[in-house]
Structure 1
Amino acid sequence: MSETRVCVGAIAGAFGVRGEVRLKSFCADPTAIADYAPLFTEDGARSFDVTLTRPVKGGFAARLSGVATKEQADALRGTQLYADRAVLPSLPEDEYYHADLIGLEVLDTGGTVLGRVRSVQDHGAGALLEIHGPGLSSTVLLPFTNACVPTVDLAAGRLIADPPEGLFP
């Protein structure tokens, strides 16, 4: 995926029989997803204008440009939607888009490489960085807090971690 786009939502399938889709928003303000249109597929081959029609369980019913039938909407199930980074709001100094954190090298406070950020998980109680690296038999989930991650240096492509005792072997 191009670094100029950020994943802002996903299509969960058709909603009804008139071409609407069930849209999951990954935005801090869920309704803002329509403001970032056009939204693109991961490969950039298709783009859609978005009109939110109403809230539904787990997201929104929405109309996408070029999608007129239930079959077309069903065919898009599972498609992630990306917005151009230029249309997204600027973030305060201590906030980051998840896409910016994925792939960063993780070092401890002594400079030892712990691994790389594979994904960012956020289930409501705070973000967790999924870290995979040398010497790890499985991934490690590190809380993304100021105490555990005191430094994020996007320009250098790394973050400094001070993990709780025993989290890393």
Structure 2
Amino acid sequence: MGAAGPARTQLRVGRLVKAHGLKGALKLELYTDEPDARFVPGAVFTLQVPESSPWHGKTVTVREFRWMNSHPVVFLAGIDDRTAAESIVRAILWVDQDVTGTDAGDDAWYDHQLVGLDVHRDGERIGTVVRVDHLPAQDLLIVRPAGTAEREVLVPFVKAIVPEVDVAAGRVVVTPPEGLFEELPADADAPVGQNAD
């Protein structure tokens, strides 16, 4: 393999949820653990919007980021009133990220670092991470159990259930609640080999 340039990926960092006030401010739904570092004045984001949107194919630049009543709010260059702000509502913000030698912190990983990792429980490989879903309440690891082609298991990406992530070793360790990975029996009888209490 020949030498390659710096590895780059697109990271989703937020979504513009609604206009705020009359001066072009927009409330944000955050997909980043470091909003104050991401949304600095001059930061440029690529927009994910429908092709019919006048913003399709464009980027936006942060003028100001602040917290208002514990809500993250951003002001963007060229958006100076409520009408302009409403024209860009629901856009998802992406940033181009150099991932060469990326250190995302002890308890933070980028999606591309997690996808493809083997999933282990009690020392045994039970599946593979196929994607990461970011929901308002929490992130989910979407795991394809070993030996299946279509089934997916949604694993809450919280310390209690995913106590260990070892990107270098290519694995995550899970301690899921009973039944999360197993097909639950169709009736209430005890599984074969176990006595009902």
| Percentage of identical aligned residues | 16
Which residue is 2:127 aligned to?
113
| TM, length-normalised to structure 2 | 0.60
Conservation of the 8 A alpha-carbon contact between 1:101 and 1:120:
no
Partner Cα separation in structure 2 for residue 72 and residue 83 of structure 1 = 22
Mapping of residues 70-89 of structure 1, within 5 Å: 70-86=82-98
> Do the aligned partners of residues 69 and 128 (structure 1) sit closer, same or farther apart at CA in structure 2, a change above 3 Å counting?
closer
> Do the aligned partners of residues 76 and 114 (structure 1) sit closer, same or farther apart at CA in structure 2, a change above 3 Å counting?
same
Amino acid at match of 1:37: A
2:14 counterpart of 1:9: yes
| TM, length-normalised to structure 1 | 0.67
**How large is the Cα RMSD of the aligned pairs?**
3.7
Which structure has the greater CA radius of gyration? 2
Amino acid at match of 1:168: F
Number of equivalent positions = 161
Mapping of residues 57-136 of structure 1, within 5 Å: 57=69, 59-86=71-98, 90-92=103-105, 94-101=106-113, 103-108=115-120, 109-113=123-127, 116-120=130-134, 123=137, 129-133=140-144, 134=148
Q: Counterpart of 1:49 in 2: which secondary structure?
A: strand
Deviation at 1:47, TM superposition (A): 1.3
Which residue is 2:186 aligned to?
none
Deviation at 1:25, TM superposition (A): 3.6
Conservation of the 8 A alpha-carbon contact between 1:10 and 1:81:
yes
Displacement over 6 Å in runs of 4+: 135-138
Amino acid at match of 2:116: L
Deviation at 1:4, TM superposition (A): 1.8
Q: Counterpart of 2:48 in 1: which secondary structure?
A: coil
2:36 aligned to which of 31, 36, 46: 31
Deviation at 1:64, TM superposition (A): 0.8
> Do the aligned partners of residues 104 and 72 (structure 1) sit closer, same or farther apart at CA in structure 2, a change above 3 Å counting?
farther
- Which has the larger displacement, 127-136 or 6-15? 127-136
Amino acid at match of 1:11: L
